[in-house]
Amino acid sequence: MRIIVTSDLHYNIARSKRPTRALAEKICRIGGDVLVFAGDTTGGPASRFEEAFGLFEGFKGPRLAIAGNHDIWVTGGDDSLHRYENELRDICSQNDVHYLDAEPFYADDAAIVGNMGWYDFSFRPARLQIPLRYYQAKVAPGAAERLGGYQHLEPADDVPRNALEVTTRWMDGERVNLALSDVAFTHKLAETFRRHLAEASERSERICAIVHHVPFAELVPHSILPNWEFATAFHGSELFGEIILDFPKVRRVFCGHIHKEMRCRRGLFEATSIGSTYKEKAYEIFDL
Ligand SMILES: [Fe+2]
Ligand SMILES: [Fe+2]
């Protein structure tokens, strides 16, 4: 089974439109057995997804998708968990796309197991010495000071002075609306991912695992810039990597989310971050 994996098309963002259309033409031309969208396909109403998936209608085989964090951004108090579990599932089925977060994909003796993944702050950078509560609020100390409204993070006497120069925030904090904590959400998704991998291991000989967020610390890109380094807390969770390693039939792992190509080897398989940016779209081909 020849799998083509792409990610982070962000088709709702102006500068991503032209490169996504070029990518769609290329992927439809080269062809494959299965096409996977590894999250952050677009955002907003169902029509946006219809447009984005529609570009790949010329692809001959089944099209599969997982959710990305941008796909569960909501407005007006809507619930991101409902969007993740129900709306995205319906949007995918209306577009003839298999929603991997709901169930694995099977073909012959191979399976593709996918999940959005999330972050439990296991990748948060120790060297910045920023207390956990700032990551939970998705705002760096410098941004909390500048923006105001974060009195609940005080007293800030455990924050080193240079941490006040970290001025970024992670926009999921504004756009993702969950009734449960990020750690609880990560565990909820991880449980489903484990169940799907167990089911696929029963039914199949070979598995390709695809997660939107990063499952292995080696795939997290580090930076000397504190604002970039702060963001690594939201790149993923090592829990997903640990789960993958429990299933020896996994032959290959892909993720998206970080907009940078990264690769690492774990035992028998390679794990790859696809590396699409807003302006340049990337894909990988793997024969499972
Ligand atoms: Fe993205
Ligand atoms: Fe993402």
Whether 159 and 150 have beta carbons less than 8 Å apart is answered as no
What would the pLDDT profile of 205-236 be if each residue is shown by its tens digit? 999 999 999 999 999 999 999 999 999 999 99
Residue 95 covered by a domain: yes
Q: What is the pLDDT of residue 267?
A: 83
Question: How far is Cα of residue 61 from the mean position of the Cα atoms in its chain?
Answer: 23
Residue 55 covered by a domain: yes
Number of domains in the chain: 1
Domain that residue 41 falls in? 2-129+175-287
Cα gap 20→278, rounded to integer Å? 9
**How many angstroms does the Cα of residue 151 sit away from the middle of ligand 1?**
30
Whether 56 and 4 have beta carbons less than 8 Å apart is answered as no
Measured in residues, the chain has a length of 288
Nearest ligand to the CA of 278 is: 1
**How many angstroms does the Cα of residue 142 sit away from the middle of ligand 2?**
23
Nearest ligand to the CA of 9 is: 1
Residue 59 covered by a domain: yes
**Positive or negative: CA dihedral 176, 89, 101, 255:** negative
Q: What is the pLDDT of residue 156?
A: 76
Residue 169 covered by a domain: no
Cα gap 120→237, rounded to integer Å? 6
Residues with Cβ within 5 Å of ion ligand 1?
A: 8, 40
Cα gap 159→228, rounded to integer Å? 18
What would the pLDDT profile of 152-210 be if each residue is shown by its tens digit? 998 778 999 999 999 999 999 999 999 999 999 999 999 999 999 999 999 999 999 99
**How many angstroms does the Cα of residue 119 sit away from the middle of ligand 2?**
11
Reduce the DSSP state of residue 245 to 3 states and report it: helix
* Helix (DSSP H) and strand (DSSP E) numbers for the chain: 10, 11
Ranges of beta strands (E only) in the chain are 2-6, 34-38, 63-66, 97-99, 105-107, 110-115, 206-211, 250-255, 262-266, 269-273, 283-287
**How many angstroms does the Cα of residue 48 sit away from the middle of ligand 1?**
16
Residue 155 covered by a domain: no
What would the pLDDT profile of 79-137 be if each residue is shown by its tens digit? 999 999 999 999 999 999 999 999 999 999 999 999 999 999 999 999 999 999 999 99
**How many angstroms does the Cα of residue 258 sit away from the middle of ligand 1?**
6
Residue 165 covered by a domain: no
Nearest ligand to the CA of 214 is: 2
Neighbours of 250 (CB within 10 A): 24
Q: What is the pLDDT of residue 154?
A: 84
Residue 154 covered by a domain: no
Q: Which two tokens stand for residue 204?
A: 């199949």
Residue 124 covered by a domain: yes
Q: What is the pLDDT of residue 39?
A: 98
Whether 166 and 141 have beta carbons less than 8 Å apart is answered as yes
What would the pLDDT profile of 137-151 be if each residue is shown by its tens digit? 999 999 999 998 999
Is residue 75's pLDDT more than 90? Answer: yes
List the CATH number of the domain containing 18. Answer: 3.60.21.10
Cα gap 147→134, rounded to integer Å? 13
In 105-181, alpha helices (H) = 132-137, 141-147, 172-175
Cis preceding linkage at 155, omega within 30: yes
pTM of the model: 0.97
**How many angstroms does the Cα of residue 106 sit away from the middle of ligand 1?**
26
Nearest ligand to the CA of 7 is: 1
